Amino acid sequence: MNEELIAKLGTLGLTAEQIEKLKVEEVKTNEDMAMLKEADIMTMTGCKTLTARKVVAAFAPAPVPVAAVVAADVLPPDAEIPPGATPSKATMDNFAATVGMDPSIMPMIMMSTMAGGAGMEMDLSGLIPVPQIVAGYNPKVRNLYLMVMTQMEKRLGTPIVIINSDGGVNKELTAQYIAALEEGHDAMPDGVYDDGTNLFEIIKVGVDAKSVYDADPFCSMKALQQNGQGVGRVHWNGVSLEVRQAAYYAVQSGEIDTGNESHMSWARDHINKDANYLVFAGQAPRALAQFREAARTGSLPTLRVMLSRGPRKTEVMARRQRLGDNRPRPTRDRAGLGVGEDGEPL
């Protein structure tokens, strides 16, 4: 065993006596060290688990790229990594220097993350500066911050991202929550974080909760489609907020039944960008009374809804498949169901 390897092992926490025990086992080179697992090092030297993990991480081979390796010299530490690509060693070194992490730990983190953590559960307590990682986390960007957060969440076994009411990440509380979990505290029940004053939702890493859309006034838990169409094929684009709020109360009062086609036909005929809330005077007088009272007390609904969406998944099958020339093409009925030549559903 050369002096350089001996010195490196000393910096990782092994004592001279423990290094001598490795020599007895005929460990001579970096390649020999790379072949050892945590259990091997602990058995050979009698060192503690954390020291063994540091040693394994220091001699772990660089992860094998599954696709093109991203050039580090042209990307900042928080740059997005394309799907199917792994960051280069230089990129990881830049990232580690930015957040104050030991660069030797990064290859192990990346191997665990990119491989789904199979067989590589690393306890990063005390080795990773949580506030810096959380500060750079963005659920919309696939970068090293997101990858490390994903690895931490898998190790902790519970969602760790705390969000504000608008869907934005509350980074201060998220860092505090992760620190509490690291110290052995139980996860908050029901996915709700209570800071003693307010309640916050806890969601999974990688989910973009900051997606707030116009709600359907006739079903306020659902977002309108991109073209503004809602329940009953009513179009809400350009319709004033007051009309939408009055429509909300019309459903609550039962004066508009979304399951009644005649009610929906009335709505399609009367609700448009030129209407005002008095359009409901004949159809829903009780709703108008509720609307006016809510306006007086400042309790009108915002009619905005937040949807939690995971990252877009890679499409496995093509959206359209070409049919063979000898196969009849199905027609479509008004409900959008395919029907064959005999008129029966396919």
Examine residue 332 and state whether it is found in any structural domain, yes or no.
no
Domain that holds residue 242: 212-306
For residue 41, the model assigns a pLDDT of 85
Domain's final residue, options 150, 177, 203: 203
Coil, strand or helix at 58? helix
Lowest mean pLDDT, pick from 33-37, 120-124, 284-288, 318-322:
318-322
Examine residue 293 and state whether it is found in any structural domain, yes or no.
yes
Of 336 and 239, the structure prediction assigns the larger pLDDT to 239
| Token representation of residue 108 | 């192990």
Residue 141, classified by CB atoms within 10 Å of its CB into exposed (0-12), middle (13-18) or buried (19+), is: middle
Examine residue 42 and state whether it is found in any structural domain, yes or no.
yes
One domain, residues 299 and 199: no
One domain, residues 220 and 285: yes
Q: Count structural domains, the chain.
A: 3
Q: Rounded to whole angstroms, how far apart are CA atoms 250 and 264?
A: 12
Tens of pLDDT, residues 114-166? 544 443 445 544 566 788 888 888 888 777 788 888 888 888 889 999 988 77
Residue 218 has pLDDT above 90, yes or no: yes
Q: How high is the mean pLDDT of the chain?
A: 76
Residue 63 has pLDDT above 60, yes or no: no
One domain, residues 41 and 74: no
Residue 226 has a CB neighbour count (10 Å cut-off) of: 8
Tens of pLDDT, residues 175-194? 999 989 988 899 988 788 88
Confidence band for 93, pLDDT divided at 50, 70 and 90: confident
One domain, residues 35 and 148: no
Examine residue 30 and state whether it is found in any structural domain, yes or no.
yes
Examine residue 329 and state whether it is found in any structural domain, yes or no.
no
Residue 326 has pLDDT above 60, yes or no: no
For residue 254, the model assigns a pLDDT of 92
Q: Rounded to whole angstroms, how far apart are CA atoms 193 and 200?
A: 5
For residue 84, the model assigns a pLDDT of 61
For residue 334, the model assigns a pLDDT of 39
One domain, residues 48 and 172: no
Examine residue 158 and state whether it is found in any structural domain, yes or no.
yes
Of 241 and 63, the structure prediction assigns the larger pLDDT to 241
One domain, residues 81 and 197: yes
Tens of pLDDT, residues 17-35? 888 888 888 888 887 888 7
One domain, residues 266 and 166: no
One domain, residues 73 and 190: yes
CA distances from 104 to 1, 59, 255 (A): 21, 8, 67
One domain, residues 181 and 218: no
One domain, residues 160 and 242: no
% of the chain surpassing 90 pLDDT: 21
- Cβ-contact 19, 9 below 8 angstroms: yes
One domain, residues 181 and 82: yes
CA distances from 346 to 318, 319, 320, 321, 322 (A): 20, 18, 17, 16, 17
Q: Rounded to whole angstroms, how far apart are CA atoms 319 and 317?
A: 6
Q: Which of 60, 61, 49, 54 is nearest to 9 (CA)?
A: 54
Which residue has tokens 């506030």?
131
Examine residue 317 and state whether it is found in any structural domain, yes or no.
no
One domain, residues 73 and 157: yes
Examine residue 261 and state whether it is found in any structural domain, yes or no.
yes
| Token representation of residue 229 | 């169409």
